[in-house]
Amino acid sequence: MNKCTLLVDGNWMLQSRTAVLFDKFEKNNPLNIKQAAADELTELMARSINVVINRFRCIDNIVIVADGGSWRKQLPIPSSVSEIVYKGNRQLDKEFDWDLIYKTFNTFIDHCKSIGLTVTQFPNIEGDDWIWYWTKRLNAEGTSCVIWSVDNDLKQLVQLDPTTKAFTVWYNDKNGLWINDIQQEKPISDIDFFLNPQYQSPILESLKSRAKSSVNYINPNSIILSKIICGDSGDNIKSVFRYQKNNRTYKVTEKVCDKMMTELNINNIDDLIQNVKSVAKWICSQSTYKSYSPDQSKIEEMIEYNIKLVWLDEHVIPTTLITTMTQQEYKEYDISYIKSNYKILIKSNEEDFMRNLFEDM
């Protein structure tokens, strides 16, 4: 217990650090300028990881995840959104040398893997799926996790393992620390404060005290349900019902979604799965939508489709891919070396070489 692992959203880290160097990665630039930018990008990624693990001193291990494609893009698409491609709104600007950018990233994570860090990337498995896997596995083993990302979809993974009391939180400098709402502090007078160990976690208190900006609490079920019904523009996921009015497209809003969940007593994903027909029927019954001829069967189809796109869980991820995930080795790395010198993430040095040599003996 009292272990804490940083889960690095590698794709977000790459995109966010590349953004400050875009002008240097223009295809028309001389090769020496682009190569210098690649070196700078590598150092930015290494420095960024170093900053986070030094801010949160309780972190004692790192896992880096990256996309390897998406099994979700192979799902049958409902007829009502046949022209919509999952994450199809993410177009790379052709002005930039993306081949060099991705080559730089792959070289970086290959080096991280070579020095002993856990790095996970596999064909058809998204980085989000890997983060889901590591949070479930590590929390069950008694290790808490910090998801370092700006992907709001990953907030659905903030949790508290009821058996081990290990937890997962979501963090980035701009948006702060996000914690499962069942871990909110109780008043001193409340007996639960003394009886429930989740309110007394030294790791959680350390994370909260060192967060650069706000500390927030969230119900992960609300993230899942809202994105399934209302859609997610970031991933090009459409609402389960849309209609045209005055040349504009309207959808089921979060306010309407909240009202529906309350009236149908739907509190989590399991409730939604068991009441797909009731949800579709409720949407069709709303006076605002009736004149636009909502089709209950199509709404049901969209709900089933969006569940697969949004929900990070073993019930939707293909069994073959989960089997691949379970075969991934989790390596424990002494990150005190990285805390003292971020360049270990860029290139091996004599100290690192000697340490590995003695470990092998």
What are the extents of the domains in the chain? 3-219+317-349, 223-310
Question: Given this model, what pLDDT does residue 8 score?
Answer: 98
Give me the mean pLDDT over the 102-120 stretch.
Answer: 96
Other Cβ atoms closer than 10 A to 326: 9
Whether 197 has a pLDDT exceeding 90, the answer reads no
Could you tell me the CA-to-CA distances from 322 to 125, 130, 133, 139, 328 in Å, in that order? 9, 9, 8, 17, 10
Question: Given this model, what pLDDT does residue 358 score?
Answer: 45
Helix, strand, or coil here: 170?
strand
- If 0-12 CB within 10 Å is exposed, 13-18 middle and 19+ buried, where does residue 198 land? middle
C-alpha distance across the termini of the chain, in Å: 28
Lowest mean per-residue pLDDT among 6-10, 24-28, 110-114, 193-197: 193-197
The letter for the amino acid at 219 is N
CATH number of the 223-310 domain = 1.10.150
Distance CA 8, CA 109 (A): 11
For the ranges 90-104, 245-259, 261-275, the one whose mean pLDDT is highest: 261-275
pTM over 0.75: yes
Contact in structure between 59 and 339 (CB atoms under 8 Å): no
Whether 145 has a pLDDT exceeding 70, the answer reads yes
Whether 361 has a pLDDT exceeding 50, the answer reads no
Residues 308-317: pLDDT tens digits? Answer: 999 999 999 9
Whether 357 has a pLDDT exceeding 60, the answer reads no
Give me the mean pLDDT over the 319-336 stretch.
Answer: 96
Asked if domains 3-219+317-349 and 223-310 share a fold, the reply is no
Q: Does the domain made of 3-219+317-349 have the CATH classification 1.20.1050.140?
A: no
Q: Categorize the per-residue pLDDT at 87 as very low, low, confident or very high, splitting at 50, 70 and 90.
A: confident
Question: Given this model, what pLDDT does residue 161 score?
Answer: 94
Question: Given this model, what pLDDT does residue 191 score?
Answer: 52
Question: Given this model, what pLDDT does residue 353 score?
Answer: 46
Helix, strand, or coil here: 117?
coil
Whether 351 has a pLDDT exceeding 60, the answer reads no
Distance CA 8, CA 143 (A): 16
Residues 7-59: pLDDT tens digits? Answer: 999 999 999 999 999 899 998 999 999 999 999 999 999 999 999 999 999 99
CA 141 to chain centre: 20
Whether 167 has a pLDDT exceeding 50, the answer reads yes
- Average per-residue pLDDT for the chain: 89
Give me the mean pLDDT over the 139-145 stretch.
Answer: 97
Question: Given this model, what pLDDT does residue 2 score?
Answer: 79
Whether 154 has a pLDDT exceeding 60, the answer reads yes
Q: Categorize the per-residue pLDDT at 92 as very low, low, confident or very high, splitting at 50, 70 and 90.
A: low
Other Cβ atoms closer than 10 A to 62: 23
Lowest mean per-residue pLDDT among 55-59, 200-204, 212-216, 288-292: 200-204
